[in-house]
Amino acid sequence: MTSLGGRASSWAKQGRAWAYKRSGMVLAVVAAGIIVALPLAAIFLHLPQNPLQPDVESMALAPNSVHWFGTDGNGMDVFSRTIESARLDLPISLAATAIALVIGVPLGLFATTGVAGEAIMRVVDAFAALPIIVIAVVSIQLMGGGATDVILAIALVAAPRFVRLSRAAAISLRSSRYVEAAVAIGCSPIRVAFNHIFRNAYGVILVQATLTTAGALSTIAALNFLGVGVKPPQPSWGAMIEDGVSMLIRGQWWAVAFPALALLLVIGSLNIIAGAIEDKMERVEHTR
């Protein structure tokens, strides 16, 4: 027999759990909205100023009614450039991460044994030993230098980490009882890899994916700084921050602050989305 008080408190508990669950979901939806809305805004909205137009008359202006986020050292409108950056920054980072996942995860899941597995890991180790930026610059130079090349270069650099993560998961789970059971009922190696191993490992892989996307944003900036990939005056958040740093000494914070905020907003959103997915999987596992 449950006492009335006991039942009420259990309701309260359930209510709190529900609210928590809801708030997590709402937050994740908002975060996903931001990630989608930013590049769409850059593409479809009419920006208040031309983001690519320098103006010697209005260099380094503080935020005002015409230039909402102020102007940078070349007199370009910081607000318009912050939004415009999303046009390339986000699709490039997300696409690069997606490609890295698609290449890296299957390789990792299957590179656990045999000569082929051995060979794959040699290549992965060799890649990991080189500085990321070197690989990116070289591959972009070899390929030409458009946005697709930047995507491929970043994907190439990021893929080895996915190979390693999924390989580690595959090796540790391969000896688990339920993987043995899956083999015993006649599952093919592909089915075992995806239905049983990947399904139990994608939390870590997902976290790596958000890190990779965030990392891609700074790689784009670094490439830009080296004069490859996204070419000035086309803006990217990373490049805007690089350029704006010199203005900080004179107390002109806005050229750095707004792109940095945008970057934080995006990285934060990615983390929230990853957290929500992980959380959902946990709940699925422990409740019904």
Partner 1 sequence: MPLLELVELTKIFRTPHGEARAVDGITLSVEAGETLGIIGESGSGKSTLGRLILRLTEPDSGSVVIEGQDVLALGRGELRRKRRHWQIVFQEPFASLNPRLTIRQIVEEPLIVARMGDRAERRLRVLATLEEVGLSADFMDRRPANLSGGQQQRVGIARALVTNPSLVVLDEPTSSLDLTIRASILRTLARLRASRGLTYVFISHDIETVRHFCSTVAVMHRGKIVEVGPTRDVLIAPQHPYTQSLISAALPVVPYSAAVGTTNSQGQTS
C-alpha distance from residue 256 to each of 64, 79, 252 (Å) = 16, 11, 8
Binder of partner 1 out of 191, 231, 248, 268 (CB under 8 A): 191
Q: How far is the CB of 111 from partner 1 (least distance, A)?
A: 19
CB 189 within 8 A of CB 170: no
Tokens 């050292």 label which residue? 73
Q: How far is the CB of 184 from partner 1 (least distance, A)?
A: 5
Q: How many CA atoms lie within 13 A of 75 on its CB side?
A: 7
Binder of partner 1 out of 185, 249, 250, 251 (CB under 8 A): 185
Q: How far is the CB of 1 from partner 1 (least distance, A)?
A: 23
Q: Is the dihedral of CA 186, 189, 195, 197 positive or negative?
A: positive
Stretch 144-183: interaction string toward partner 1, x if CB under 8 A: --------------------------------xxx-xxxx
195: contact with partner 1 by CB under 8 A: yes
Q: Give the ranges where 175-253 is alpha helix by DSSP (H).
A: 177-184, 189-191, 202-225, 237-248
251: contact with partner 1 by CB under 8 A: no
Q: How far is the CB of 281 from partner 1 (least distance, A)?
A: 7
CB 240 within 8 A of CB 83: no
d(CA 29, CA 272): 9
Q: How far is the CB of 274 from partner 1 (least distance, A)?
A: 17
Q: Is the dihedral of CA 231, 236, 37, 21 positive or negative?
A: positive
Number of residues lying near partner 1 (CB under 8 A) = 23
Q: Using omega within 30 degrees of 0 as the cis cutoff, is the peptide bond preceding 131 cis?
A: no
Binder of partner 1 out of 131, 144, 186, 251 (CB under 8 A): 186
- With respect to partner 1, which residue has the nearer C-beta, 223 or 274? 274
- With respect to partner 1, which residue has the nearer C-beta, 148 or 195? 195
Q: How many CA atoms lie within 13 A of 196 on its CB side?
A: 24
Binder of partner 1 out of 67, 81, 167, 196 (CB under 8 A): 196
Contacts (CB under 8 A) with partner 1, residues 254-283: 281
Binding site for partner 1 (CB under 8 A): 176-178, 180-188, 191, 195-196, 199-200, 281, 284-288
